[in-house]
Amino acid sequence: MHKIHLESIQLYAYHGCLHEESLIGSNYSVDVMMVTDFTLAANSDDLSQTIDYCEVFNIVKEEMAIRANLLENVAARIVNRLKNELKDLYKVTITITKLNPPMNGNVKGVSIIIEA
């Protein structure tokens, strides 16, 4: 088994339960760790034999653009699309971090993680 990791995809989106979050938005960081077998790609040097991480980036970007109250909802949608649209994806872990969340304290970020 092999892994492909898209690390710290930086996006701006409008997720959150507070009305203000839907208006002003926030910065997010998304990590995607995928387990696959890219032996054929390694031997053939052929992109069609592995997961194209540009396609993964576009799926993450599209789903992050759809507003949700909960990051759990966004992450579940990303996982579902990846599993439905990518061949040879055995396992995926999505981490979405809301940077500087609106809390009564100094918090660098709040993350949710889904493994599927």
- Per-residue pLDDT tens digits for 68-97: 999 999 999 999 999 999 999 999 999 999
Q: What predicted TM-score, i.e. pTM, was given to this entire model?
A: 0.94
Cβ neighbours, 10 Å, residue 4: 17
- Active-site hit among 3, 83, 98, 108: 98
Identity of residue 82: L
- Per-residue pLDDT tens digits for 30-71: 999 999 999 999 999 999 999 999 999 999 999 999 999 999
Task: For the chain, list the domains and their CATH numbers.
Answer: 2-115 (3.30.1130.10)
113 strand-pairing partners: 95
Spatial strand order in the sheet of 109-115? 2-13, 26-36, 91-99, 109-115
> Is 83 a known active-site residue?
no
| Token pair recorded at residue 60 | 């993450």
